Homo-oligomer: A and B are copies of this chain.
Amino acid sequence: MIPRYSRPEMVSIWTPETKFRIWFEIEAHACDALAELGVIPKEAAKKIWDLGGKAEFNVERIDEIEREVKHDVIAFLTHLAEFIGPESRFVHQGMTSSDVLDTCLNVQLVRAADLLLKDMDGLLAAIKRRAFEYKDTPTIGRSHGIHAEPTTFGIKLAQAYAEFSRCRERLVHARKEVATCAISGAVGTFANIDPRVEEHVAEKLGLEPEPVSTQVIPRDRHAMYFATLGVVASSIERLATEIRHLQRSEVLEAEEYFSEGQKGSSAMPHKRNPVLTENLTGLARLVRGMAIPAMENVALWHERDISHSSVERMIGPDATVTLDFALVRLTGVIDKLLVYPENMQKNLDKLGGLVHSQRVLLALTQKGVSREDSYRLVQRNAMPVWRGEGNFLELLKADKDVSAKLSAKELEDLFDLGYHTKHVDTIFARVFGKDAVAKG
């Protein structure tokens, strides 16, 4: 997490101030439940809210105490006692540090997921808008980086929309994975705390009670969360890579927006580089790489050890802040993307009609030529065109074996671009819904 790749909304979820505020709320809600159960005085619970709810926790003071006691939750509780006075002895009754730490972490991860979902909605809206804008704009489809057959730029964006819709659904699952609360005391037996306290705190924080914890909330949940972020990052990389390809000097079908005053190169003033999408490619590598430590965190020893903690102190903020930044950056890139339909047409025409080769092949088989023979007939006319020697349609017309099966008129009809785009609306209806297409 470095400022350059951070947005304040996500960063604020991970500040010490936010963390201590969540800790306080967990403790105070637990006190309410304990008071209700008669374990502690109701006035104590009230006083804790009254004095702690307004308190400004002093991060430096807590750090100072921690340096002495070498335990962060004890340091916090000691600081809390400075506000609340003798009633503070009712705080944390029967609880263990993990009850606070793990429930807090999950609150933070849930909030992070909510922000990522909001980012995702913004991204989906931007993609959708541009997809409809270019729904029928012809462009060459490429496989292996080689011109294949025509498609439209809108379909490309519809693919991205469908992919990020899946990513959105995955984020919803990931959020659910970590939306649990554990207040179960040492080794998770509830020996010193009634399970109803957990239920109360969970409800107040919008979480589910963890069915069975081991003092800690089991880390398979978090592994799944971070693995999901890794998959989302990989989808970001895919769309970023597409734009990088489209901006290549030889292709130039689209470009990242280039603001006034921006400099592409300290040495070469003419350059306009796809730096944002290259940056996103790198950020994707970072987020993806964090999935492995998160999975290694699962196999804690016995009821728990603390090895996961240092990992999560880093990847908790790093993965969510980076992904949040990346989603918003990608949204901006899509939103302002400069699209060059004329260049798309120029590239489409580049291969002298070869993009229609499959259609000729199919027409020949439908005229009774075997698939093998059709393939050979097409290929022998395609290869000179590929080498820049001649026009595909003219060569086919001149080929005796071809013209024996397909008239000049029939051949010309096979070179119609509309043939390739006739199902655009079907595809858009699948991706965006029939209503959207009807309106769009």
Contact of A143 among B4, B231, B273 (CB under 8 A): B273
Q: A95 — nearest CB in chain B belongs to which residue? A: B267
- Which one of A117-125, A145-153, A402-410 is at the interface? A145-153
A: contact size bracket: 35 or more
Q: Across the interface, do A223 and B231 meet the contact criterion of CB distance under 8 Å?
A: yes
- Binary interface profile of A, 298-313, with partner B (CB < 8 Å = 1, else 0)? 1111111111111101
A285 interfacial by beta-carbon distance below 8 Å? yes
- Which one of A50-58, A103-111, A237-245 is at the interface? A237-245
A77 interfacial by beta-carbon distance below 8 Å? yes
A278 contact set on B, CB distance < 8 A: 144, 305-307, 309
How far is the CB of A232 from the nearest CB of chain B, in Å?
8
Q: Across the interface, do B89 and A365 meet the contact criterion of CB distance under 8 Å?
A: yes
A60 interfacial by beta-carbon distance below 8 Å? no
Q: Across the interface, do B247 and A162 meet the contact criterion of CB distance under 8 Å?
A: no
How far is the CB of A244 from the nearest CB of chain B, in Å?
6
A435 interfacial by beta-carbon distance below 8 Å? no
Q: Across the interface, do B269 and A361 meet the contact criterion of CB distance under 8 Å?
A: yes
Q: Across the interface, do A143 and B305 meet the contact criterion of CB distance under 8 Å?
A: yes
Q: A292 — nearest CB in chain B belongs to which residue? A: B289
Q: List 13 A-B contacts (CB under 8 A).
A: A141-B189, A144-B273, A149-B186, A149-B189, A173-B173, A263-B375, A269-B378, A278-B307, A282-B310, A285-B297, A286-B314, A286-B315, A314-B318
Contact of A245 among B145, B151, B314 (CB under 8 A): B145
Within A130-187, the residues touching B (CB, 8 Å) are: 140-151, 155-156, 158-159, 162-163, 166-167, 170, 173, 177, 185-187
Q: A369 — nearest CB in chain B belongs to which residue? A: B89
A228 interfacial by beta-carbon distance below 8 Å? yes
Q: How far is the CA of A20 from the CA of B143 in the complex (A)?
A: 24
